[in-house]
A and B are shown apart, each in its own frame.
Chain A
Amino acid sequence: MSADHSRDPCPVVILSDFGGAFAMGVIGGCVWHGIKGFRNSPMGERHLGAVSAIKARAPVVGGNFGVWGGLFSTFDCAVKAVRKREDPWNAIIAGLFTGGSLAIRGGWRHTRNSAIMCGCLLGVMEGVGLMFQRYAAWQAKPMAPPLPEPQQATPLGA
């Protein structure tokens, strides 16, 4: 069965984003907790310490990343479906909802602050992405080929 390319990739993209974010978290968690476990273990036990830290903590980091990615993608698809428009506001609104949802256990103040922080962060990322795109487009702008130098007229009888 081939994918239908005539429509927006939502909602299948939610699963792929969840998996991608989980994998990214696990890989990052392995590096982070591997180094941390290695450094915090006594001499002679460092290898074992690093492996134990990775086994204990890397799946947790992966899970946290995965939940963030999955929620963000879900909200992004929902906002896109409601607004029927593709622009940076989708990610900002989805970021607001994601930040708020993940902080819901911390009380209303924490929820509000996290939602605003996450929305702003997503806004900055979108802005930087757009800036880079414009810069790349400016660098790759079509250039007119240089004109040949006009031939100097030779004086008669020279």
Chain B
Amino acid sequence: MQSNILSVFNPPPQRELSSEETKDCIPCQVMSTMFSLGFGTYLLSGKPFEYSEKEKKRGITAEKFQQMNPKWWRTSLRTMGGSLIIFGLIRGSEGWLWNKKKPGTNEH
């Protein structure tokens, strides 16, 4: 199995991937759903811009922290989180709630 990290140091030849290679599969669906829901929840929860002890220890004041995370940035991250959650739900329910006869599904 070729690793994605090792292929940075030893790049494979450039090529177009065939439709057979990029066919959708159940592990693909599970992984993308988990990632989208997890990362989306993290972003939407507001944890990335929560002033904590860690910042206090690094000498960052609450005002400085607010400057580092302006409103547009927080709104963008929350929007991105919400979009990821919606994408995760759509992706996760594909094949059993909607698009039941999904073409080209490969069980890997």
Contacts and interface: CB of A to CB of B under 8 A. Distances in A.
Contact of B8 (A4, A109, A110, A125): A125
Contact of B9 (A72, A77, A125): A125
User: Which residue, of B11, B16, B35, B68, has the highest number of chain A Cβ atoms within 10 A?
Assistant: B11
Contact of A108 (B17, B22, B70): B70
Main secondary structure of the interface of A (DSSP, over half): helix
A126 B73 contact: no
A129 interface: yes
A110 B73 CA distance: 12
Contact of A129 (B9, B39, B68, B69): B9
A16 interface: yes
Interface string A7-19: 1111111101100
A130 B10 CA distance: 7
Contacts of B17: 8, 80, 84-86
Given A107-B73, A133-B10, A7 B22 contact: yes
B14 A72 contact: no
A107 B7 CA distance: 31
Given A91-B11, A107-B65, A107-B67, 7 more contacts: A13-B3, A20-B5, A77-B4, A81-B22, A88-B11, A91-B8, A104-B43
Which A-B residue pairs are the 3 nearest by beta carbons? Answer: A107-B68, A11-B31, A87-B14
Interface of B: 1-5, 7-17, 20-23, 25, 27-28, 30-32, 35, 39, 43, 48-49, 65, 67-70, 73, 77, 106, 108
13 contacts: A4-B108, A6-B21, A11-B32, A13-B3, A13-B4, A73-B3, A76-B4, A85-B16, A86-B15, A91-B11, A107-B68, A107-B73, A109-B68
